[in-house]
Amino acid sequence: MTPYSLVLSSMVFLGPAISLSSGNWLILWGGMELSLMGLMPLMNMGRGMISSESSMKYFLIQAVASTIILISGMNIYFLKDLNFIFILFFVFSLIVKLGAFPFHFWVIPVVEGSKYYHMFYLLVPMKIVPLMLMCSALALDKLVYEVVMISSLATLIVGPILGNNVSSTSKMIGASSIGHSGWFMLGSLFGGLWLYYLCYSLTLWMLLWVLLQHNELFISLMVLSLSGLPPFFLFVGKMYIFFAAMVSYGFYSIMMILIFSSLMSLNFYLKFSYMYYLISSKMESKFNFMSASLLLAAGGLLLLMF
């Protein structure tokens, strides 16, 4: 990694740190935009036509959402104007940032045109501040709760449907991100958001790393781990949100949607996992099997602690 890339990558992670540690609305918003300003040059460093087009799409969509967040947030947090129109625009712009339904249209095209090490920046640190703001927005109005609930459940259905209709790994990761955004939003409603976020971040990072290493057997395992099957990390996060919704709030009616979404997602995760397993070499090193065993053991340990 060049010094220039290192500085830009630091900006991507510094932005959420500034936002989370600030009590001023403008500084909080500025930290979110600092991440965006660091990510744009990184996405254009490949100098490819597809990469430039992808970064331009992402910049335009994020810039519009950021502008709406700034204007509505100023009215809500500075002027204390709790007009529902401002609150609604604020929540919808956060949904755009997260790539959830009905503003999920940008996720797959942008992720498809990005490199693997840029996907992590797109799908992990760039979502920290919007998720935090969404948690705070739930206290503004009771209707916000209903909007987030409807959007999250619809996202849980749309993500797997899109995932079952893609044929490339990059598109699969984008569709997977849409589905997991639904779980993020449910976590903000019921609890367990940051546990699920941590499990997803670790799993996605390991998947992208082995994709860069072209290790097909381990890729097969990591794709399967994104499904949240036991004893992988994501199973712990999913079960936490599942039981929080069922026990604490008694929303038994959404349990079938969560189960149906997980089964639909499992279908395309198995498809891609089996594909990589079939093309894997017969002469795999013992290190890969050892790493897989350690991953399973760590996930099982977390499950026992849970």
Q: What is the pLDDT of residues 76-121, one digit of tens each?
A: 888 888 888 899 999 999 999 999 988 998 999 999 888 888 899 9
Q: How far apart are CA 160 and CA 157, in angstroms?
A: 6
Decide: 39 and 129 in contact? Cβ < 8 Å: no
What sign for the dihedral angle of Cα 35, 38, 44, 45? negative
User: For residue 253, what are the contacts with CB-CB under 8 A and spacing of at least 6?
Assistant: none
Q: How far is CA 163 from CA 177, 178, 273, in A?
A: 10, 9, 13
Place of tokens 């490949």: 46
Q: How far apart are CA 26 and CA 57, in angstroms?
A: 25
Decide: 222 and 206 in contact? Cβ < 8 Å: yes
pLDDT at 287: 47
Residue 281 has pLDDT above 70, yes or no: no
Q: How far apart are CA 174 and CA 168, in angstroms?
A: 10
Q: Three-state SS for 100?
A: coil
Lookup: tokens for 160: 């797997």
Q: What is the pTM of this model?
A: 0.89
pLDDT band for position 295 (50/70/90)? low
Mean pLDDT on 170-183: 93
User: Whole-number mean pLDDT of the chain?
Assistant: 84
Q: Three-state SS for 10?
A: helix
